[in-house]
Structure 1
Amino acid sequence: MKTVKYYIPLFSLLSIALSSCNSPPPPPPPQSLPDHIVEVVQKLVAEKIQQAADKAAEAMKTKTSLTESYSSEDFNNPTETT
């Protein structure tokens, strides 16, 4: 009976050890924390700049310039006097 008591904990320890051996290796840590922070900030800034450029391009497509919306006659013949 004494041998049966030891088989169960030994088997569970062995299964835990084998399962940890089959796990994939963890990803390597960044070279240094400041370099990692700089890399993340650069990526975020690039995304924000791209979003702002996209918004500006979209705004330029929808707006008309002043020369297109007013004719020269509007400036030569004012209807209101101040």
Structure 2
Amino acid sequence: MASAAGAGLAVAVPTNGSAAQQRGKLERIGLSHIAQVFTPDDLGVAAGLRAVHLGRSGTGPAEESHRISTLGELATYL
């Protein structure tokens, strides 16, 4: 996340969880200053986010259809 923000990309955490929970996680790992948290309530939409899995080693479950091996591939899913 820090690398993406450092490269000038907007960094956000879309989540089906609570905003307080996700902000707490970001605070604990020292990244709260670079990422926004968006929940369905924040956006006024129903939950239904799609995950994109980062698997640099390529060893994740084959049924994960939205898998990337580098952060450079993430833009195609945004």
Asked if these proteins are the same fold (TM beyond 0.5), I'd say no
Larger Rg: 1
Of structures 1 and 2, the one with the larger relative CO (CA 8 A, separation 6+) is 2
- TM-score of the superposed pair, with normalisation by structure 1: 0.19
- TM-score of the superposed pair, with normalisation by structure 2: 0.20
Q: Which has the higher helix share?
A: 1
